[in-house]
A and B are shown apart, each in its own frame.
Chain A
Amino acid sequence: MTRLMKRAFAFGAALLAMVPAAAAAAPVRVVTTTEGLAALAREVGGDRVSVESLSRGVADPHYVDANPMLAVKLRKADLLLDVGLDLEAGWLPPLVAQSRNAEIQPGGKRRLTTADAVQVLDAPTGAVDRSLGDLHPGGNPHFLTDPRRGLDVAAAIAARLGELDPGGKEAYQANLAAFRSKLEAAMAGWRATLGPLQGRKLFTHHRTLSYFLAWSGLASAGELEPRPGVPPPPSHLAGLVKLAKAQEVKAVVVENYYDARSAETVARHAGVKLVRIPGDVGGERGAGSYLEYVGLLVERIAGGVR
């Protein structure tokens, strides 16, 4: 009996000893809507955070299932990072409501809508209605294709993490500084690759590369979709083939979550290269981190327009 009691005490003491350790080590639970945001959160959060993305990099982020299993992940989130500009309008709001997590509601202290941290492009200025397609009235949400904006988002994440976890404020800023120098070094290499290609033209499927093009100095000659979300009729593709020849378009660039048949048609008839790219971090093997993802974009697109 005494032996049993001793063992019970030892077990209890061991448990008690674990409590403060566990409390100190409890990471900040960051949940993101996309893998691109998750990659940035990992860079600045380091080992003080655990990060989980609600969607996969292979998925079109406009169309993710509002699966209740995702609400379970949101229930315990200490910080929700979303893109904003209506990118997740079709699936995130019901999940946030189901999660019962009051502080990740829009505007909540544990919600960071990262579009607020960047200068937004392609915001429609004239009259807008759905005859123009499924456009984003707030502007283009695909801003992580520009590494400068990636850095802006990383800085915003570091600042918010510092507010939520003041003990880690310096660590987050140090991680951000390390990420900045890593990214800036990579950007110098990317600029060297892209420099000689300034002004080269390409087509995209959807208007997903506005930010990449603004940064890289390449140019868009149009989209395969006549209007956002509208499938291209043959007449539109024929028009693009003519345009490609007239304007010396070099490539058709298509994210791997889009069907490439229209792009293949244009590439074949116009004699331009078809370039498949990951839609986000994690969109394919070799795009596991933000630097790898942007590096792949630069490599593939530069290869396409060369």
Chain B
Amino acid sequence: MQRKIVQWCVALALAAPAVVRAQPQEGSPPAQGGAGGNPLARLLLMPDLSAITSVTGVWNSHDVEALSPERGEVFGPEGRPEFLFREVELGLRAKVDPYFGADIFIAFTPEEVDVEEAYATTLALPAGLQLRAGKFFSPFGRMNQQHPHAWEFVDTPLARGRLLAEETLSGTGASVSWLAPTPWYAQLELAVQSTAPYEDLPPDLTGVGRLLQYVALSERTTVGLGLSAARRREGAPGALRDLGGVDVHLRYRDPGSRRYLTVQGELYLRTLRDVPDPEGAPGDTLDDAVEHGWWAQAFWRQDAFLGYGVRYEEAPAAGVAAPGTERRASAVLNWFPSEFSRVALQASYDRLPGGRDGVEGLVHFEFGIGAHGAHPF
């Protein structure tokens, strides 16, 4: 009993100063009127919003649609210049909550509105892990994960359209990536997505894996090597599409200026296993030979405003030019009036199987407004 009384007294004595401090003040503080709180609070919670518009003038000497299809959309009718409205890419980026960040990219084109990517990425998983879920560009190769305004050239290499996907290999699903605890950069990403790489294919389950490694050769030079593989179900039981890829990316950067040189290239392999031939007799399957294509390019950024590049590529021919190998060489000149706009001139010489050839010219303009956020390397 005595002990309890002592405890009470001690507790009361401890509480006393707190009671004195907590004396309520007379009256309430004056109101601030319209200036009360933060009138910009809504803006603070707005996602980063950006819109990037791109238009391209095209001219080609040959009938690309017949002779060299499956190459994206950057071409016009034979011998007649035309302007193409490529897209407005609307980007939204914000943190969802303490656990996820969101990235959404919507492409508005004359034909459609397409959700290119809309995914959430974890912010705080342990052990170097990161999860992504939603719709996203498949982690296959370096270029497949870039949006068009990040390309040095105006169009994509032929091999990408012929072997990976008509535009971008992408789909809805989830991925897990792991940054290995190595002294160099090593990231392994595994994804499961429903992809539809070509318009006539219904979405089907695809597993994608990519190992990306970067090492510094010197303070100025970094080289990256990526290995990618994908396997897609092709509708019929046991029918599979297997893809393989190797990408190399070398960058030399002079830290004291805006000059840099990048040399990069990608090789794609594709084989179709037991895929029924839609035009053959029941039980007939498509050719399961391994097809391949590749491209390599060098790009020199002279300063903040000018950059030049050359590219060479080989791909399996498509359309009436097939079968055989299509070869193309291109050169590009980029002028950047600022960080937010670009004018590009591109010329290509396209050599089709059978000795036919074609010449292409592209004039491209793009401009971005809003807060777009930085691109990965």
Interface residues of A (CB under 8 A from B): 55-56, 58-60, 63, 65-69, 71-72, 75, 89-94, 97-100, 102, 105, 130, 134, 229-231, 256-257, 259
Contacts and interface: CB of A to CB of B under 8 A. Distances in A.
B255 A58 contact: yes
Contacts of A105: 123-124
A56 B255 contact: yes
A98 B179 contact: yes
A134 to B, nearest CB: 6
A66 B376 contact: yes
Nearest to A230: B338
A72 B124 CA distance: 16
Contact of B123 (A71, A72, A90, A102): A102
24 contacts: A56-B219, A56-B255, A60-B258, A63-B304, A65-B260, A66-B375, A66-B376, A67-B251, A69-B216, A69-B222, A71-B179, A91-B374, A97-B121, A98-B187, A100-B129, A100-B130, A100-B179, A102-B123, A102-B124, A102-B125, A229-B338, A231-B304, A259-B257, A259-B303
Nearest to A103: B124
B369 interface: yes
Nearest to B224: A68
A63 B258 contact: yes
A230 B123 CA distance: 36
Contacts of B257: 257, 259
B179 A257 contact: no
Interface in B160-199: 179, 181-185, 187
B130 A59 contact: no
Contact of A93 (B181, B219, B255, B373): B373
A90 B130 contact: no
B123 to A, nearest CB: 6
- Size class of the B contact interface (CB-based, 8 Å): 35 or more
Interface string B210-222: 0010111001001
Interface string B348-377: 000000000000000000000100011111
B256 A58 contact: yes
B184 A72 contact: yes
Nearest to A62: B339
Interface of B: 101, 121, 123-125, 128-130, 179, 181-185, 187, 212, 214-216, 219, 222, 224, 251, 253, 255-258, 260, 303-305, 338-340, 369, 373-377
A91 B374 CA distance: 6
B214 A67 contact: yes
B128 A75 contact: yes
Contact of B377 (A63, A65, A93): A65
Nearest to B212: A68
A99 B179 CA distance: 8
Given A65-B377, A100-B128, A75 B179 contact: yes
B338 to A, nearest CB: 6
A196 B164 CA distance: 70
B184 A98 contact: no
A14 B101 CA distance: 46
A58 B374 CA distance: 22
A69 B375 CA distance: 15
Contact of B369 (A68, A71, A97, A130): A130
A46 B256 CA distance: 29
**Residue from A59, A72, A97, A130 having most chain B Cβ neighbours under 10 A:** A72
A87 B56 CA distance: 32
Given A100-B128, A130-B369, A68 B185 contact: yes
A72 B180 CA distance: 9
Contacts of A59: 255-256
A55 B255 CA distance: 8
A91 B258 CA distance: 14
A8 B179 CA distance: 35
Nearest to A65: B253
B376 A100 contact: no
Contacts of A94: 373-377
B340 A130 contact: yes
Nearest to B222: A67
Nearest to B340: A130
B374 A257 contact: no
Given A69-B185, A91-B374, A99-B179, 8 more contacts: A65-B251, A66-B374, A68-B222, A75-B128, A94-B377, A130-B338, A134-B339, A259-B303
Contacts of A71: 179, 185
A231 B305 contact: yes
A100 B126 CA distance: 8
Contact of B339 (A65, A229, A259): A229
Contacts of B376: 66, 68, 94, 98
A71 to B, nearest CB: 6
Contacts of B216: 67, 69
Closest 5 CB pairs of A and B: A102-B124, A68-B185, A59-B255, A58-B256, A68-B214
A65 B243 CA distance: 31
Contacts of A72: 182-185
Nearest to A60: B258
Given A69-B216, A134-B338, A256 B185 contact: no
Contacts of A229: 338-339
B28 to A, nearest CB: 31
Contacts of B215: 69
Contacts of B374: 66, 89-94
A65 B250 CA distance: 13
**Residue from B125, B184, B258, B303 having most chain A Cβ neighbours under 10 A:** B258
Nearest to B214: A68
A89 B224 CA distance: 24
Nearest to A99: B179
Contacts of A256: 256
A26 to B, nearest CB: 16
Contacts of B377: 65-68, 94
**Residue from B256, B257, B375 having most chain A Cβ neighbours under 10 A:** B256
Nearest to A134: B339
A259 B259 CA distance: 12
A201 B60 CA distance: 57
A290 to B, nearest CB: 20
Nearest to A105: B123
